[in-house]
Amino acid sequence: MWTHKAWQGRLVAHPLPTHERLRHYAGWCTAVEGNTTFYATPSRETVASWAQQTDPDFGFVLKLPRVVTHERHLGDVDEPLRAFLHAIEPLGPRAQVLWIQLPGSFAPADVATLARFLRRLPTTHRYAVEVRHPAFFVDSRATALLARTLAATSTEWIPFDTTTFFARPPTSDAERDAWTKKPRMPLRSEALTDRPIVRYLGCDDPDRTSAGWQRWVAPVADWLHEGRSPTLFVHTPDNADAPVLARRFHDDVRARVPALAPLPEPPSVQPLTLF
């Protein structure tokens, strides 16, 4: 997302060479979702550039390739998984969590497959799973089964909170597009590990988006008081103001947890000059 066109010249300086855009994004937020790794494993050279642009405590939550999760359904994946882990090695500790997003077809009957997959993963990384089958949210037995399976390998369960977005019909092209693509997920707010991760989808209206995330402020503050290190990603249908909104959420949490460190000062958006 650090190359998002809507941010260029407004939230990050423009023009910027590709190898500098992540550095400017990191002036807004201290973590980023790696969604592009779902579609293609990047080269080590590309990943090394990401490392060069960020401090060691900057966090990448990188999605496993779809060949692993959606095409081969967690089976016979040694080769693509090994290639992926080799590619992201230059990130070192920046590879905060590897994100296993499973398709909506992944059902409670498939949990045993997930358990075998998780047990085989190298312990050099932390992992988090996102599921989209409704049974995991409405069937208490399925919920408990998945939670036990994840806890056995210290794997987090990532909730994707879309309740605010789907509370009202869409009113813009961006919202209508998201309406057809985003999953309608029931709300879940429990953490399994000391590194909870939340994905939150708001809407075009920043005030409605802010009102919708208030349900997360208290849990995130509680996690911090408990000594956990939560990460929350803010999305909107067009993501045009996502970094600004993420900082606004951080401010809401700091109001409850004054000891929480401030986010970095965003970089200047003035274009670079020779003088």
Q: Tell me which residue of 193, 187, 196, 189 sits closest to 232, measured CA to CA.
A: 196
What local confidence, expressed as pLDDT, does residue 273 receive?
54
Q: Pick from 196, 244, 217: which is nearest to 61 by CA?
A: 196
Position 19 pLDDT exceeds 90 = no
pLDDT at residue 269, as a whole number: 83
Give the amino acid at 126. Answer: R
CA dist list (Å): 244 to 4, 59, 62, 218, 233:
14, 18, 22, 20, 12
Average per-residue pLDDT for the chain? 95
pLDDT in tens, 73-100: 999 999 999 999 999 999 999 999 999 9
Has residue 242 got a pLDDT over 90? yes
Rounded-to-integer distance, Cα 175 and Cα 165, Å = 8
Residue 275: the pLDDT is: 46
Cβ atoms of residues 231 and 198 within 8 Å:
yes
* Contact (Cβ atoms closer than 8 angstroms) between residue 230 and residue 253: no
Read off the pLDDT band of 272 (50, 70, 90). low
Q: Which long-range contacts (CB under 8 A, 24 or more apart) does 141-147 make?
A: 141/108, 142/108, 145/108, 145/111, 146/108, 146/111, 147/190, 147/192
Contacts of 144 (CB under 8 A, 6+ apart): none
Q: What is the pLDDT at residue 271?
A: 57
Q: Taking the C-alpha atoms of 34, 202, 213 and 66 in order, what is their torsion angle to the nearest 10 degrees?
A: -30
Determine which of 13-27, 95-109, 140-154, 188-202 has the lowest per-residue pLDDT on average: 13-27
pLDDT in tens, 26-56: 999 999 999 999 999 999 999 999 999 999 9
Share of the chain above pLDDT 90, in %: 91
Q: Strand (E) positions, the chain?
A: 31-34, 59-63, 95-101, 127-130, 156-157, 160-161, 197-201, 231-235
Distance from C-alpha of 206 to C-alpha of 171, rounded to nearest angstrom:
14
pTM (two decimals):
0.95
Residue at token pair 């990532």: 158
Q: Is residue 228 exposed (0-12), middle (13-18) or buried (19+ Cβ within 10 Å)?
A: middle
Q: Radius of gyration of the chain from Cα atoms?
A: 19
